[in-house]
Amino acid sequence: MATTRWLDEQEMAAWISFLEVTHRVFRSVETQLKEDEGLSHPQYEILVKLAAAGEGGLRMTVLADSLITPKSGLTYQVGQLEKRGLVLRRACDADVRGVTARITAEGMDVLRAAAPGHVARVREVLIDQLDRRQLLALADALGTVNARLREQADGPVGAP
C-alpha cells in the first residue's frame, strides 16, 4: 500500500495561494465582463475562439476540447450567445451529425467592445502585479503543469 505524501508547509502554502489567486482572478474577470458587456467569462472565451477560427467556425467538439469544458456546458453557453445573435450553429458540411459554431458580425462587434476592458482587468489583477522575471517563472511553472496534465488526458505526445 502506498504511503500518503502529505504536503509540507511550503507545498501547502503554494497550493492555498494557487487556489485563492485563481478564484480571485476569475471572479474579478467574470465581474468585469458581466458588468461591462453582459458576458460570462466562458462566453467571452467562446467568442475569442470562434473569432480566431474565421468564417468556417469550429465544430462544437473541437471548441469544447479547446476550452477544456464539458460539451453540455458548452452547448448551454453557445445557446445563450445564439439567442443574443452573437453566434450561429449549423450542421457540419462533412458530417451532418456534427454541429459547427461560428461568430456573427454582431458577435465580433461585442468581442471588440469587450476586449479592451477584459485586457485592462487581466493586467490590473495579474500581469501588472508581477515583474518580468516573475511572469516568466509563472508561465514556465504553469506550462510544465499544463503539459503534464495534457499528456495524462491525451496520452504521450506522438502516441497514436
Per the domain annotation, does 17 fall within a domain? no
pTM, full prediction: 0.87
pLDDT tens, residue by residue, 80-91 = 999 999 999 998
* Domain at 125, CATH number: 1.10.10.10
Task: Count Cα atoms within 13 angstroms, Cβ side, for 85.
Answer: 4
Alpha carbon of residue 67 to chain centroid = 5
* Segments forming the whole domain that contains residue 115: 42-143
Number of structural domains (the chain) is 1
CA 61, 55, 50, 126 dihedral sign is positive
Asked if residue 148 belongs to a domain, the reply is no
**pLDDT tens per residue, range 39-86:** 999 999 999 999 999 998 999 999 998 998 888 889 999 999 999 999
Tell me whether residue 127 is in a domain. yes
